[in-house]
Structure 1
């Protein structure tokens, strides 16, 4: 796993806020679950299906980010007239739900049966980081109102199982999973942005420091900022940059797991005392 190099694409979508469940909820859920009532009837001018449109949209977003995701561009990628896309999907809001749910459904899921809960939870983190490596646009989508399709539900079911036998109540299990996924998503976004910065500036961190370092040494008084000077220099020398996303992800994941372990052990101790 190399979270510092998740994709060849740039996250232009960071400037275009996007969220799931922004369309008509009833129509979206019907489409997500492929309810026949929500699907267009096939005919001579409807040679495609919803899945083909979703695949075209995912391919487009993978290449151009969410900023390049328009219904016209999706139609062009699918090879159909622009207005025909609307016979399959009402609009971009519903399409985004379908895209993310499809990405969830296709995630690789590591077999973890028989492993300790901590290793199962680590696998969940790695699976989500892999999702963002494959589809950087997914990290830019707010899922506070999740899409609630079959892909989302399968993902949620799988991830909750990582906490089986940890001795936590249902609400705490959901809290723990949410905490883990929030941290992974934040690390993924940093990784994506770092990759984009290198591409957009055609300059690596070492080159940037080579230009900025001498100026900083000239203007910065270490006596005025002793901790920043000492610790910043040590960290920069250790990681080769002011912020190294792969290291930050590994450190954050270990700390999350350590914290969850203390929680699990504390609950176990309370149960034993009772």
Structure 2
């Protein structure tokens, strides 16, 4: 916790141990760079040290563990989202902006999807963003508890869709949708005949023509977000 809030705490007057040659910020930035490039599984104390040209053991003078480094990385990414949500936007558009920004962050840093989300990172970045998000929906007719729950629902919806979008993006790197259907389409025509699955065949043909892919995460996100906001507005 002290590392997360290191800029807000008084500077240490006495430092024990080896002299530090880089900053905690540099260690965190190296961890993010590594995670963006190699995925969360590629992040380790040894790998981050190598990224910085340090000995592995020396990294422990900056962060005590990979778990601690992960918290710092998550909060640093969260703190990149600094653009205020204009109060001039309609409440619905403010909520949509929250969901879209969360999804965009996950698409830009997909390793965040591998970090356990249950215990919130109570760092300055996450607290500043929570304050901005609450301020964006304050005064639209929701109670304090409803405001918190709206943010949770928007976050969970954006996260679930981002997970599918990332998986689709990764799959496309290995096999194109056209190639996949060329390979498996004939088999599916045999085992899923239209007379046994009439509704599935009709709908599948319609959306397949539209999507030109097994699914459409981007379109699904916008459609689902619109329906979600309809429900929030109706309840409010």
Q: Could you tell me the TM-score, scaled by structure 2's length?
A: 0.92
Q: In 1, are the aligned partners of 2:35 and 2:42 still within 8 Å (CA)?
A: yes
Please state if 1:247 is matched with 2:219: yes
Task: Structure 2: state its 5+ residue gaps.
Answer: none
Q: In 1, are the aligned partners of 2:99 and 2:155 still within 8 Å (CA)?
A: yes
Q: In 2, are the aligned partners of 1:40 and 1:88 still within 8 Å (CA)?
A: no
Please state if 1:139 is matched with 2:113: yes
1:189-222: CA deviations, max 9, x gaps?
Answer: 11111111122x2x21122112222222233221
Please state if 1:261 is matched with 2:233: yes
RMSD across aligned C-alpha pairs, in angstroms?
A: 2.0
Q: CA deviation at 1:43?
A: 7.9
1:108-148: CA deviations, max 9, x gaps?
Answer: 52541211111111111121122112211112222211110
Please state if 1:109 is matched with 2:83: yes
Q: Hey, what's the Cα distance between the residues in 2 that align with 1:248 and 1:108?
A: 27
User: Cα 1:164–1:129, aligned 2, differ >3 Å: closer, same or farther?
Assistant: same
- The 5-angstrom pairing of residues 1-274 of structure 1 reads 29-34=1-6, 35=9, 41=15, 45-199=19-173, 201=174, 203-264=175-236
Q: Could you tell me the TM-score, scaled by structure 1's length?
A: 0.80
Task: Structure 1: state its 5+ residue gaps.
Answer: 1-28, 265-274
Q: CA deviation at 1:42?
A: 8.2
Relative contact order (C-alpha < 8 Å, sep 6+): which is higher? 1
Runs of 4+ in 1 over 6 A off after TM superposition: 37-40
User: Cα 1:108–1:33, aligned 2, differ >3 Å: closer, same or farther?
Assistant: closer
